[in-house]
């Protein structure tokens, strides 16, 4: 009988230990944030709105020439970008978004979900308008697109030594874009582009070069017509990089 009791006790201990291990593996991060709080660990194969929120924050850590889709599907490109984000901030590189990753994101973002070093005010219409209306998309869509650009710029800024980046042109209404001589298909009217001015800490060529590893598909700089006083970065479906003087 004693042997039966001992075996029963050992089995109970093993079950309890197994349950504890499972709980540790799937435990949700305890931290909370005023912008957005993740409630589960995320890895390849996961899907949902929380994945989309993560993708937005790490979009600037895409592989060269890649543009991360904000589609809520945690695939290879998202894992690769997450690993670069983790490495870039000195975290454990495991490709899993968990407490360490979320804590870094929480530290980087403000209450309106914009990154710490950029704000909507910097992307106000170049002609003095500031409500993000009058473009090719709704104001809400324009702001969402701008927020993605800001997170890519946050990554770009960090890669370039955390030196300030000055935005000289962000969102433009259709009328504003026309008045400043912008292209009729300008990404500025969608909130998908930013012009980085000469007052930025990094050089133009440094911003142009590093932009290729920050998820931007359109990057124009010195030597490209009309771009000798800024670097243009934007998100689009096809790649176009040009800066002959770099």
**pLDDT tens track for 119-166:** 999 998 778 878 999 999 999 999 999 999 999 999 999 999 999 999
What would the pLDDT profile of 64-94 be if each residue is shown by its tens digit? 988 999 999 999 999 999 999 999 999 999 9
In angstroms, the Cα distances linking 44 to 29, 99, 126, 197 are: 18, 16, 40, 38
Pull the structure tokens for residue 89: 């901030």
Identify whether 227 is a catalytic site residue: yes
DSSP 90-147: T----S-BSHHHHHHHHHHB-TTS-BTT--GGGGS-TTS--S--SSSS-HHHHHHHHH
Give the count of alpha carbons within 13 A of 11, CB side only.
Answer: 6
Please pick, among 188, 227, 230, 232, the residue that the annotation labels catalytic: 227
Assess whether pLDDT exceeds 50 at residue 210. Answer: yes
- What percent of the chain lies above the pLDDT cut of 70? 87
Angle separating helix axes 139-159 and 49-58, nearest 10 degrees: 50
Check residue 126 and give its pLDDT: 74
What would the pLDDT profile of 32-52 be if each residue is shown by its tens digit? 789 999 999 999 999 999 999
Check residue 31 and give its pLDDT: 65
Q: What is the average per-residue pLDDT within 195-210?
A: 98
Q: What is the pTM of this model?
A: 0.87
Q: What is the average per-residue pLDDT within 201-222?
A: 97
Q: What is the average per-residue pLDDT within 12-21?
A: 38
3-state secondary structure of 23: helix
Pull the structure tokens for residue 14: 């093993």
Check residue 19 and give its pLDDT: 40
Q: How many CB atoms lie within 10 A of CB 196?
A: 24
User: Which carries the bigger pLDDT value, residue 108 or residue 12?
Assistant: 108
Q: How far is CA 59 from the centre of its chain?
A: 4
β-strands 230-234, 193-197 pairing: antiparallel
Instruction: Compute the distance between CA of residue 25 and CA of residue 18 in angstroms, rounded to an integer.
Output: 11
Among 93, 197, 185, which Cα is nearest to 153's? 197
Check residue 30 and give its pLDDT: 52
Among 28, 31, 11, 44, which Cα is nearest to 106's? 31
Pull the structure tokens for residue 50: 């929380």
């Amino acid at each position: 009988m004693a042997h039966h009791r001992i075996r029963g006790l050992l089995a109970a201990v093993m079950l309890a230990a197994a349950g504890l291990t499972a709980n540790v593996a799937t435990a949700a991060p305890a931290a909370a944030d005023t912008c957005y709080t993740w409630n589960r660990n995320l890895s390849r194969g996961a899907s949902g709105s929380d994945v989309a929120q993560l993708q937005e924050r790490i979009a600037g850590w895409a592989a060269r020439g890649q543009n991360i889709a904000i589609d809520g599907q945690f695939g290879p490109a998202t894992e690769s970008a997450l690993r670069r984000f983790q490495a870039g901030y000195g975290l454990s590189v495991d490709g899993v978004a968990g407490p360490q990753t979320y804590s870094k994101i929480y530290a980087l973002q403000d209450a309106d979900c914009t990154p710490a070093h950029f704000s909507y005010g910097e992307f106000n219409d170049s002609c003095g308008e500031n409500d993000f209306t009058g473009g090719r998309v709704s104001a809400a869509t324009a702001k969402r697109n701008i927020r993605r650009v800001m997170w890519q710029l946050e990554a770009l800024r960090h890669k370039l030594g955390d030196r300030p980046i000055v935005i000289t042109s962000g969102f433009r209404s259709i009328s504003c874009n026309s008045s400043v001589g912008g292209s009729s298909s300008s990404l500025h009217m969608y909130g998908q582009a930013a012009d980085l001015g000469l007052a930025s800490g990094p050089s133009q060529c440094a911003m142009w070069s590093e932009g290729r590893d920050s998820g931007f598909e359109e990057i124009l700089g010195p030597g490209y017509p009309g771009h000798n006083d800024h670097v243009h970065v934007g998100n689009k479906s096809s790649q176009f990089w040009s800066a002959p003087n770099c």
